[in-house]
Amino acid sequence: EEKQQAKQWFDNHAPMLKGPSSTFGKYKGSNVIVIQAEAFENFVINQTINGQEITPNLNALLKDSMYMNRFFHQTGQGRTSDADLAVQTSLHPLPTGSVFIRYPDHTYDALPGVLKENGYSTGAFHAYEGSFWNRYVMYEKFGYDYFMSKKDYQMDEPLGWSLGDRSFFKQSVERIAAEQKQPFYSFMIGLTSHHPYTMPDTYTALNVAPFDKTIFGEYLRSIHYVDAAVGSLIEDLKKRGLWDNTILMFYGDHDNSILEREPLAQLLGHEISDLDMLEMKNQVPLIVHLPDGAEAGVYNQVTGQMDIAPTLLHWLGIDPTSKFYMGSNLQAEGERLVVLRTGAATNGDLFFVPSADGVFQNGKCYDYKTRELIDVEPCKPLHDEAKLRLKLSDLVITRNVIPQLRPAS
């Protein structure tokens, strides 16, 4: 019965996987590079410190890119692997543990596999141990042709946990150019901006006074370094003639685990309310550069990591409506709902935040236009739909439902 409920839900949801018909297939055959940046929160974009931009390269990229500035990460305990799951499969991570470790043998409509079926060569890139988060196993299941992990990189820029992102991008693009036939789908996971963010002075010159030698200051410096690395990557793609036929996506995987409000208040110049803090910890940037720089602008609709897969397929002219995706096209018409793993949910007008005890009446409901806390009752539909989606997503993953529901071809 639950499986039928799931089938019904996906059938009803299918129209939300579509974007404007004018853009269906507009970028058919384009290469795709998706960059997942470690702990990259949204507040750093277009932000300055001591008169210096924290992310000058990304800010410049925004001029001919789509910038989703109310974009939420949808991760749980599986952190980086959860962001990867949400993006590649458009399903929710589980309430406990990582799907990568718990259910790597189950079936998913994963982006690399779908693109491979449609003539793409596919590669995953991450300069860390290939076994971490069980990536070796999961990436084979997802349909990557190959996975370039730590052992495949020259450690010529040792930094933080492993190789610095600048060299990581450089070596990854070298491999793509040498081996990946076009069109390609390349998924790159950066690592330099990983906790505890310590950055040697030789790698970045951002003046972060008065936050020097604090974790917040080091975080800003590591973000500044990652921004420069992305700038070099873009230059490299341009030099190699790949920029004009590649869709580039950049997003943050999850929050930075820094929970103090004071440094943020000091940097941003205003008090940090509970709702502000909720946003800081749950919003990451999504920047999309389309090959012709079209659709550029700042998008205020609420969106999330699970929206990436259906959107990409739509642009590439691959019908996403038969896929078991819970996200929505970034530009879908119709009412959107972004559901977080905590059970929090927003449709752009209201923002529901559950209480620790899970009792609806003890949760918080914000009017997301006025940012005022209001009576909880208007948030009941958001709470109910969030609960349903999380239950169905868990069912699809843990009971391997996709092959059972897919009509035989």
For residue 286, which amino acid is it? L
Beta bridge partners of 361: none
**Residue 124 CB, nearest approach to ligand GP9 (Å):** 11
Beta bridge partners of 345: 339, 352
- Give the span between the Cα atoms of 91 and 309, in whole angstroms: 10
User: Per rule CB under 6 A, is residue 80 in the interface with ligand GP9?
Assistant: yes
User: Per rule CB under 6 A, is residue 79 in the interface with ligand GP9?
Assistant: yes
Interacting positions 354-373 with ligand GP9 (CB under 6 A) = none
Report whether 64 belongs to an annotated binding site: no
Q: Which stretch binds ligand GP9 (CB under 6 A): 55-63, 128-136, 205-213, 324-332?
A: 128-136
**Residue 248 CB, nearest approach to ligand GP9 (Å):** 21
Q: Are 375 and 361 in contact (CB under 8 A)?
A: no
- Give the span between the Cα atoms of 389 and 370, in whole angstroms: 27
Report whether 346 belongs to an annotated binding site: no
**Residue 189 CB, nearest approach to ligand GP9 (Å):** 6
**Residue 79 CB, nearest approach to ligand GP9 (Å):** 3
Nearest to 295 by CA among 41, 46, 20: 20
User: Per rule CB under 6 A, is residue 73 in the interface with ligand GP9?
Assistant: no
- Give the span between the Cα atoms of 173 and 125, in whole angstroms: 10
Interacting positions 167-186 with ligand GP9 (CB under 6 A) = none
Report whether 38 belongs to an annotated binding site: yes
207 CB contacts (<8 Å, ≥6 apart)? 49, 50, 52
Q: Are 254 and 79 in contact (CB under 8 A)?
A: yes
Structure token pair of residue 150: 């730590």
**Residue 73 CB, nearest approach to ligand GP9 (Å):** 11
User: Which residue among the candidates 80, 122, 192, 311 is catalytic per the annotation?
Assistant: 80
Q: Which is nearer to ligand GP9, 172 or 329 (CB)?
A: 172
User: Per rule CB under 6 A, is residue 341 in the interface with ligand GP9?
Assistant: no
DSSP strands (E only) in 133-239? 146-148, 158-159, 162-163, 184-189
DSSP strands (E only) in 136-183? 146-148, 158-159, 162-163
Q: Which stretch binds ligand GP9 (CB under 6 A): 127-135, 152-160, 201-209, 297-305?
A: 127-135
- Give the span between the Cα atoms of 88 and 85, in whole angstroms: 5
**Residue 78 CB, nearest approach to ligand GP9 (Å):** 7
Please, what is the end-to-end C-alpha distance for the chain in angstroms? Answer: 23
SS3 call for 85:
helix
Structure token pair of residue 353: 């935040």
Can 122 be counted among the known catalytic residues? no
Q: Which residue of 27, 100, 128, 225 would you call a contact of ligand GP9, by CB under 6 A? A: 128
Report whether 254 belongs to an annotated binding site: yes
Q: Which residue of 132, 136, 299, 360 would you call a contact of ligand GP9, by CB under 6 A? A: 132
Report whether 192 belongs to an annotated binding site: no
Q: Which residues are annotated as a binding site for substrate?
A: 194
Residues near ligand GP9 (CB under 6 A) are: 79-80, 128, 132-133, 191, 194
Q: Which residues are annotated as a binding site for Mn(2+)?
A: 38, 80, 253-254
Q: Which residues are annotated as a binding site?
A: 38, 80, 194, 253-254
Active site residues: 80
